[in-house]
């Protein structure tokens, strides 16, 4: 891919980006209390004594969340740390009941790893993972419910998050977008995070710096709390442009935390380094260090599902798909699940074509996700089967597909009801062809005197007379014989 540059007044600048992704762990219960994590509950419905930090209440680790973190770490091809520590990150805020967040600082549960990102032009890039650690989410402050009061909802307080930190290997907004999508995809395949960005299950902080070619790393700024891939990409560009402008005006970049305003397309300072919190991290004395056994890790390893990269390779090698189609299908768990069901006993390449062109097109047009597709994977498989065995022509198949999408009916029913079955009876076809030749003697003469293009006309006439049902391959062959 071409190098992404920000063009300043005088120089071109490259950007260096590192991401922190906060992914909510798929778990029924919170990280250190038994409270439910259900989304959309009434305010403060899912709050235990521990979540509300009542006196004398103690955290107890949720083993399922540990499994999920290890699973995610393995999916990111990362080192699993058999010894890790939960630390307290101390700061005061109204929606942080304990006055500290339990997180992991010096010894995270997962260390270095890497993921591969792919682009439509077939290029690839490896992005390093610095670490993954577990931490608690805070509650939510609501400032717009009352003219003078703030309200606090502790439903999220204590919900388990995985913070995934990338290395500063990202050098364009597209790479940042691809990286987030890839992480999201891996976590969804692993079932360790639902990846729902609108519901806040996946949020990003972005570290951005710029430099002229060959210069050392510039000072970075952190943009907090971005909740869509689009905003991440937009924020990177806005922030990089701001930094370039500052540098070209002779100003220094101040390390600070900023927020992105998606309406004005600009970032604004939230707090500077001088006002940065001193979080006074120290090991939480209420929790023992976390020690994992080799058995625990290898059990998780042996139950890992196929991940997007592995599926992509399988699709290319075993099903003969193009690299691009393979990466499109393997990107989302739902899509690849759909493909594997639809393709059972069918031709993978034809299934892939119908899936990525017809079905995706129709779903997009109707703003539907593949989960809500009116055509179920087995039904698409059946349709492809009818094409492969010549029961219907490709053209008729498109009509059948449209009908299926509209009504949810099976292809076999539609073909039967509407009598769309392809006519491959050679006597019928010869009869139709003779008819067309007899009725268009002048065109036949023209053709025979060298007007080759008229061949299409004859095919069209025959197909028209057959109501589209004549086997086009046979029509072609017989016509050629008769006319020549």
The residue count for binding other proteins (CB under 8 A) is 30
Q: How far is the CB of 125 from other proteins (least distance, A)?
A: 36
Q: How far is the CB of 331 from other proteins (least distance, A)?
A: 40
Applying CB under 8 A, does 94 fall inside the site for other proteins?
yes
Segment lying near other proteins (by CB under 8 A), choices 96-104, 178-186, 423-431, 445-453: 96-104
Q: Which of 18, 75, 97, 177 binds other proteins (CB under 8 A)?
A: 97
d(CA 451, CA 444): 9
Q: How far is the CB of 95 from other proteins (least distance, A)?
A: 9
Applying CB under 8 A, does 402 fall inside the site for other proteins?
no
Nearer to other proteins, 40 or 285 (CB): 285
Nearer to other proteins, 152 or 368 (CB): 152
Nearer to other proteins, 90 or 424 (CB): 90
Applying CB under 8 A, does 282 fall inside the site for other proteins?
yes
Site for other proteins in 260-279 (CB under 8 A): 278
Site for other proteins in 47-66 (CB under 8 A): 49, 52-61
Applying CB under 8 A, does 92 fall inside the site for other proteins?
yes
Applying CB under 8 A, does 152 fall inside the site for other proteins?
yes
Applying CB under 8 A, does 452 fall inside the site for other proteins?
no
Nearer to other proteins, 216 or 285 (CB): 285
Applying CB under 8 A, does 98 fall inside the site for other proteins?
yes
Please enumerate in sequence order all residues whose Cβ is within 8 A of that of 419, keeping only pairs 6 or more positions apart, or say none: 469
Q: How far is the CB of 30 from other proteins (least distance, A)?
A: 14
Nearer to other proteins, 154 or 204 (CB): 154
Nearer to other proteins, 265 or 276 (CB): 276
Q: Which of 286, 291, 434, 481 binds other proteins (CB under 8 A)?
A: 286
Nearer to other proteins, 60 or 265 (CB): 60
Q: How far is the CB of 275 from other proteins (least distance, A)?
A: 13
Sites of contact with other proteins (CB under 8 A): 49, 52-61, 88, 90, 92-94, 97-100, 152, 278, 280-282, 284-288
């Amino acid at each position: 891919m071409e190098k992404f540059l920000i063009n300043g007044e005088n120089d071109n600048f490259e950007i260096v980006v590192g991401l922190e992704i906060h992914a909510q762990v798929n778990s029924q219960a919170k990280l250190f209390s038994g409270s439910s994590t259900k989304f959309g509950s009434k305010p403060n419905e899912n709050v235990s004594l521990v979540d509300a930090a009542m006196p004398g209440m103690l955290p107890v680790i949720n083993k399922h969340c540990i499994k999920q973190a290890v699973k995610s770490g393995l999916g990111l091809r990362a080192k699993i740390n058999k010894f890790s520590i939960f630390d307290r990150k101390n700061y005061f805020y109204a929606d942080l009941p304990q006055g500290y967040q339990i997180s992991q600082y010096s010894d995270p549960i997962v260390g270095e790893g890497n993921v591969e990102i792919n682009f439509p032009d077939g290029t690839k890039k490896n992005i390093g993972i610095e670490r993954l650690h577990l931490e608690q989410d805070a509650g939510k402050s609501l400032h717009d419910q009352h003219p003078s009061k703030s309200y606090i909802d502790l439903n999220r307080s204590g919900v388990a998050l995985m913070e995934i930190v990338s290395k500063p290997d990202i050098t364009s907004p597209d790479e940042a977008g691809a990286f987030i999508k890839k992480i999201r995809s891996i976590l969804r395949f692993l079932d360790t995070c639902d990846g729902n960005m609108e519901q806040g299950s996946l949020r990003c902080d972005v570290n951005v710096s710029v430099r002229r070619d060959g210069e050392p790393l510039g000072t970075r700024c952190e943009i907090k709390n971005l909740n869509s891939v689009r905003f991440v990409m937009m924020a990177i560009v806005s922030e990089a442009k701001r930094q370039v402008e500052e540098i070209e005006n002779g100003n220094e970049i101040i390390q600070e935390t900023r927020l992105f305003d998606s309406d004005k397309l600009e970032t604004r300072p939230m707090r500077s380094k001088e006002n940065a919190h001193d979080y006074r991290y120290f090991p939480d004395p209420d929790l023992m260090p976390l020690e994992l056994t080799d058995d625990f890790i290898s059990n998780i390893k042996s139950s890992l599902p196929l991940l997007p990269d592995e599926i992509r390779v399988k699709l290319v090698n075993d099903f003969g798909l193009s690299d691009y189609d393979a990466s499109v299908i393997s990107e989302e768990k739902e899509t690849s699940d759909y493909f594997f069901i639809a393709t059972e006993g069918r031709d993978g390449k034809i299934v892939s074509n119908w899936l990525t062109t017809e079905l995706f097109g129709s779903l997009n047009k109707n703003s539907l996700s593949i989960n809500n597709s009116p055509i179920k994977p087995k039904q698409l498989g059946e349709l492809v089967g009818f094409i492969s065995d010549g029961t219907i022509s490709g053209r008729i198949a498109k009509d059948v597909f449209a009908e299926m999408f509209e009504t949810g009916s099976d292809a076999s029913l539609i073909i039967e009801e509407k009598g769309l079955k392809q006519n491959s009876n050679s006597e019928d076809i010869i009869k139709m062809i003779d008819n067309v030749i007899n009725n268009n003697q002048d065109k036949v003469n023209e053709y025979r005197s060298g007007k080759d293009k008229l061949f299409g006309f004859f095919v069209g006439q025959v197909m028209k007379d057959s109501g589209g049902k004549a086997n086009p391959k046979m029509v072609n062959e017989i016509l050629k014989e008769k006319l020549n």
